[in-house]
Chains A and B, each alone.
Chain A
Amino acid sequence: MSAATPASSSPGAVAAAGEPVLVAEGLEKSFFGVTVLRGVGLTLRAGEVHGLVGENGAGKSTFMKILAGVYERDAGSVRLGGEEVAFSHPVQAARAGLATVFQEFNLLPERTVAQNVFLGREPKRRGLVDRKAMLAETRALLAELGIDSIDADAPVRTLTVAEQQIVEIVKALSVDARVIQMDEPTAALADHEVELLYAIVRRLQARGVAIIYVSHRLKEIFDLCDTITVLKDGALVSSGPASELDTDELVRRMVGRPISAYFPDPEPGTVRGEPRLELRAAGNAYVDGVDLELRAGEIVGVAGLQGSGRTELVEAVFGIAPFTRGELRLDGRPVQISSARQAVRRGVALITEDRKAQGLALNQSIADNALLVIRSVFSRRTRETRRELPGVLSSLELSSRGLDQEVQFLSGGNQQKVVLAKWLATKPRVVLLDEPTRGIDVGAKVAVYTLMRRLAKEGVAILMISSELPEVIGMSDRIIVMHDGRASAELPARSDEATILGAATGTLRVGGEELR
């Protein structure tokens, strides 16, 4: 795969001299008074692959969604083929020739490939859906992309994730898009499937399609892109030929910001104690060969890209999809955790990534939510916990109208505090946090960080997954980096963002280990 790097930029460089097909200037967007995009623009030429990079929250997604018509811009202009456009719906944008392949697929698993490609605009003949034409056109488009493994008449649910991705691209092609935006197209793909995507991108490029390519994987950006635009904190950092950048320089432009000062220092008296959680060559269908030691009083950060197996790792520890290989030890004793209930009984807590779907019963009260686990697993402690609850919630600085308020009316930060209270009540010895500060305000974030420090002092072992690198760096005593289902690197505290990103994207090989 690495051999592709030098060869890739040459054919693109020729095509990049094409006409500008899309010119965006001075795009601005704010949500509820928070500016997420300030004066961002770029010029896209026919046959060009244009990389759009930046950290989480840099504004890439907002930028794409404005172009695609998901959001309306507050200011700025977009010209597509010389004409000023402002789309109000992705379908409208696609029909005008600007198609977007979102990270979340818009596919119906029970329908065939052809039916999905033409969904909502099925070709008609004598008033009836022309199935033959649909199939023939889908086959032609697949052939054009050099794909022979996908049957246009097969239900989408039988396809691999990579093949589903291709169906989304075919959908974009079928509207004759001149511009295709791809949002993290490789996030869910295995390495060998990425090769296939590369081939498709190059074919599109050869057809004169212009591509906006958003990815966290810098290697892909350099492999594919002719031009790279860097965003940071909603503003444009630079936009220019890829040949003028190298990985270090790109990462510097993406990051280039001091780690915020709001991470509290470890509480005095915190000591690194006995191992609480140990994994040895642990694996299941989603993660493999994970070695990990988590000690009392320690906070270990888990970094990695979306789809790298981070969530799957903590879900395995928590018994949701248990390990089928290797060894799991709690407090030095080998144990088998095959259900969430067992995990809770053994003193493990998991604060899930999606608090609304997995962490809370939204239409129940704060008290009911906070007592949920206690009632079902340690029912004898219910009364005691109920007595302690007001104290616990006020120590988390929960602001609410009372314990009987339904959690759906709380802010994201306060909802997260209820989730934390629920798990604190179980007096856990190992706490697994999956994106604990996603979508909550700074004040609540600090409350979460302070709580983590306090738990560490009390001898709890903490494993924290986070996509926010400053958070990982600011809080962790050690950092585990996941890549493609494996723990690809273990880095010391205060490692810099470039090193972590490198390990997470597979551009940095730790210990010379070749990736699959």
Chain B
Amino acid sequence: MSATTPTARRATPRRRRLDSSLIVGIALVAVIAIGAVLVASVGRNFFSAGNIRDILTGMSVLGFVAIGQTLVILCASLDLSVPYVVSLSSLIAADLMAGNPANIPMAVVAVIVVAAVIGLANGLIVTKLKVNGFIATLGTGLIIKGYLDTNYKGTSGQVPWEFQLIGATGIGPIPVSTLLMLLVALAGAFFLARTRTGNHMFAVGGNEQVARLSGIRTARPLIVAHMLCSITAALAGLLLASRLGVGSPVVGTQGGYDLLSIAAVVLGGTLLMGGRGSIWGTIGGVAIFAVVDNVMSVMQVNPFLKDVVRGVVIVAAVAVYTSRSVDRRRPRFANASAPPTGPDGAGGDVDGNDAREEARA
């Protein structure tokens, strides 16, 4: 008991980990800085009002979808049905509005109700039938796709001018659609932090066993997450309808919102296995995508190269996150106290820990 007092032990530094959303913020600033330099190199101004507006506009649709996806992924599930919900919502909205501004409220309510029902179905399939979220939402997505392909041969409906304003106007350089998206993000972050259901999403996604042993009804957070995810996808559909002026059966799939939203969530520091993450990280991830896309458009990069760059960004981001993962077992003996007789250097300890992590995985 003599040599090692509690204070001496505490002196060994804990491996500090930066808060995920902070890292995303730093990455975003770095991407903006690099982008600004690149854009300047072709003689354009990255920070011009027009360009800022372009970037923010590019964020709004994916932002809506990714907010909902964040909730679902936090619960350790996935939602692959979002692009079809986006398309379906744009069609329902345009058809019901039929060019008449008086129909707007009714159409919006109808779209949200339909989305909520789809989300409820997803949630019930995942929690009650115990079908993996990936498969469950792939299935519901295909069902919606079948419905769309059967009933719509092309664009349909007519969105009145008043509703189109949402997608077209802005306050200064900030588009209204992006403001609405950020409001929804704020609501989502508040929901996660301040409601029990929101809190329990972290528990269910982090360790379902612990959640259950703590007396949490584990189905509820999952179902709510799936419903909210479908609803935010529906909001994205409404926004697209407003921009296009019509509903389209392919607008969601063309946008690739299923995989892009998942990528944005992961880019934002949320664990794909659930239990850790934040809405603001996701918004950061969406912003990074928007900036990268914008820079490439301004520089007139070959469109295939764009996808290559996106791919590199996603893989690099996740590689950075996993390299920061913690050791689950704490070392009992510091290597500093090693007698110098060891066959290899003190650096070997780090490798040892990594190997252990692999073995445990």
Q: Please list the residues of chain A having a beta carbon within 8 angstroms of any beta carbon in chain B.
A: 1, 89-91, 106-111, 115, 119-122, 124, 127-129, 131, 149, 157-158, 160-161, 190-193, 195-196, 281, 283-288, 309, 315, 319-327, 334, 336, 338-340, 358, 484-485, 514, 516
Is the beta-carbon distance between A324 and B346 smaller than 8 angstroms? yes
Closest to B347 in A: A324
Q: Does chain A have a CB within 8 A of B349?
A: yes
Q: Does B322 contact A (CB under 8 A)?
A: no
Question: What is the bound-complex CA distance between A121 and B338, given in angstroms?
Answer: 47
Q: Min CB distance, B8 to chain A, in Å?
A: 9
Interface of A is mostly: loop
CB contacts (< 8 Å) of B195 on chain A: these are 127-129
Which B residues are in CB contact (< 8 Å) with A336?
Answer: 343-344
Which B residues are within 8 Å of any A CB, using their own CB? 1-6, 9-10, 14, 17, 193-196, 198-200, 202-203, 206-207, 209-211, 213-216, 275-276, 326, 329-335, 338-339, 341-344, 346, 348-349, 351-353, 355-356, 359
Complex CA gap A97/B215 in Å reads 15
Expressed in whole angstroms, the minimum distance between the Cβ of A335 and any Cβ of chain B is 10
Known: A115-B199, A321-B353. 9 other contacts (CB 8 A): A91-B215, A131-B194, A191-B1, A283-B338, A284-B348, A284-B349, A320-B359, A324-B338, A338-B351
9 A-B pairs with least C-beta separation: A285-B331, A91-B215, A120-B214, A325-B342, A324-B348, A110-B276, A120-B215, A321-B352, A321-B356
Q: B342 contacts A516, CB within 8 Å?
A: no
Task: Return B282 CB to nearest CB of chain A, in Å.
Answer: 16
Docked-complex contact B202 and A322, CB < 8 angstroms: no
How many A-B contacts at CB < 8 Å in the complex?
150
A485→B275 CA distance, assembly (Å): 33
- Tell which of A283, A315, A484, A516 has the most Cβ of chain B within 10 Å: A283
Structural contact, A516 and B1, CB atoms closer than 8 A:
yes
The residue in A129, A320, A325 that gathers the most chain B C-beta atoms within 10 A of its C-beta is A325
Give the residue of B5, B214, B342, B353 whose beta carbon is less than 8 angstroms from that of A106: B214
A61 to chain B, nearest CB (A): 16
17 residue pairs bridging A and B, Cβ less than 8 Å apart: A109-B206, A110-B275, A119-B199, A119-B203, A129-B193, A149-B10, A160-B330, A193-B6, A196-B6, A281-B341, A283-B333, A285-B335, A315-B356, A322-B348, A324-B352, A484-B332, A516-B4
Complexed CA–CA distance, A320 and B213 (Å): 33
Bound Cα distance A110, B209 (Å): 15
Bound Cα distance from A324 to B216, whole angstroms: 44
Roughly how many angstroms separate A338 CA and B346 CA in the complex, as a whole number?
A: 14
Pick the contact of A326: B1, B209, B275, B341 (CB < 8 A).
Answer: B341
Contacts of B338 in A (CB 8 A): 283, 324-325
Are B216 and A108 neighbours in the complex by a CB distance under 8 Å? no
A111 to B274, CA, bound (A): 12
Question: How far, in whole Å, are A124 and B10 apart by their CA atoms in the complex?
Answer: 36
A417 to B55, CA, bound (A): 62
Pick from B10, B341, B343 the residue with the most CB of A within 10 Å.
B343
CB distance from A69 to the nearest CB of B (A): 11
The reply to whether A131 and B5 contact each other, CB–CB distance below 8 Å, is no
A106-B210, A485-B332 known; A129+B199 contact, CB < 8 A:
yes
Q: Collect the chain A residues with CB atoms within 8 Å of residue B353's CB.
A: 285, 321
| Chain A residues closer than 8 Å to B330, beta-carbon distance | 160-161
Contacts of A149 in B (CB 8 A): 10
